[in-house]
């Protein structure tokens, strides 16, 4: 049977393709002076609903793009590689929950950028590792936490120009996605070695040969005890 798990190279390719799209959009915005901020989310307005779909693709500056690209490259690749069964569903849930949450409860301003997506992926990897506890998911959790553990705090209000709402609802989307999907992801097979299935009696270190050596050692100890007892009897 062909293994359905994606290769790391293929997962990285998916992530780089998405990043290329974001960079091309930013380049077109600057080159043609396009007012793409109107494709962001404007809370509680009909025209702002389009941003639920388009906002993660739009950024305010090259610095904004670079900061989000670094997180997307690592976290996105980890998600796509480690959770082959649920990865696309998890991304869809994070994308929609983040966007709709900002549209319903965000401040009256245009919200855009992929940081809601990065926070959602981070929380998905974090909570999935805690609930699943297999070697792969825990390893992914540790990498994500080591690199972007600060995302535990950036869901809270900080600077007014930063959309903490996108961070918060992205993280919430990641938690919701985990609770809905973590049981649907098959656990990776544990690697077994040839010697693990060998019966104990066939193992020279555990079977009859070892036991024979153990019996010989016990007999030698008994002989020493017998001689010692006889010596004591003579002294008395």
pTM: predicted TM-score of the whole model, two decimal places: 0.79
Which residues in the chain show pLDDT less than 50?
A: 1-3, 210, 234-236
Cα–Cα distance between 157 and 105 in angstroms, integer? 14
Cα–Cα distance between 181 and 83 in angstroms, integer? 10
Cα–Cα distance between 69 and 87 in angstroms, integer? 19
pLDDT at 140: 96
Q: Helix, strand or coil for residue 76? A: helix
Q: Helix, strand or coil for residue 220? A: helix
Cα–Cα distance between 178 and 131 in angstroms, integer? 9
CA separation, residue 43 to residues 2, 16, 72, 97 (Å): 46, 30, 25, 14
pLDDT at 7: 86
14's CB contacts (< 8 A; 6+ apart) are 76, 80
Expressed in angstroms, the distance from the first to the final Cα of the chain is 79
pLDDT at 226: 63
């Amino acid at each position: 049977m062909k293994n359905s798990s994606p290769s790391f190279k293929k997962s990285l390719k998916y992530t780089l393709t998405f990043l290329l799209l974001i960079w091309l959009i930013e380049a077109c915005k600057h080159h043609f002076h396009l007012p793409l901020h109107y494709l962001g989310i404007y809370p509680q307005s009909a025209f702002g609903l389009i941003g639920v779909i388009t906002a993660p693709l739009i950024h305010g500056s090259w610095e904004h793009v670079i900061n989000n690209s670094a997180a997307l490259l690592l976290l996105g690749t980890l998600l796509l590689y480690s959770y082959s069964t649920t990865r696309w569903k998890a991304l869809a849930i994070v994308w929609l929950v983040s966007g709709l949450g900002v549209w319903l409860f965000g401040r009256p301003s245009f919200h855009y950028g992929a940081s809601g997506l990065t926070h959602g992926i981070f929380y998905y990897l974090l909570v999935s590792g805690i609930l699943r506890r297999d070697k792969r998911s825990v390893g992914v959790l540790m990498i994500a936490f080591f690199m972007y553990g600060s995302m535990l705090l950036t869901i809270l209000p900080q600077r007014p120009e930063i959309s903490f709402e996108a961070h918060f609802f992205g993280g919430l989307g990641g938690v919701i996605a985990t609770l809905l999907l973590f049981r649907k992801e098959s656990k990776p097979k544990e690697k077994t070695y040839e010697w693990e299935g060998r019966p104990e009696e066939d193992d020279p270190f555990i079977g009859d040969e070892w036991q024979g050596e153990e019996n010989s050692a016990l007999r030698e100890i008994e002989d020493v005890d017998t001689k010692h007892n006889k010596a004591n009897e003579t002294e008395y």
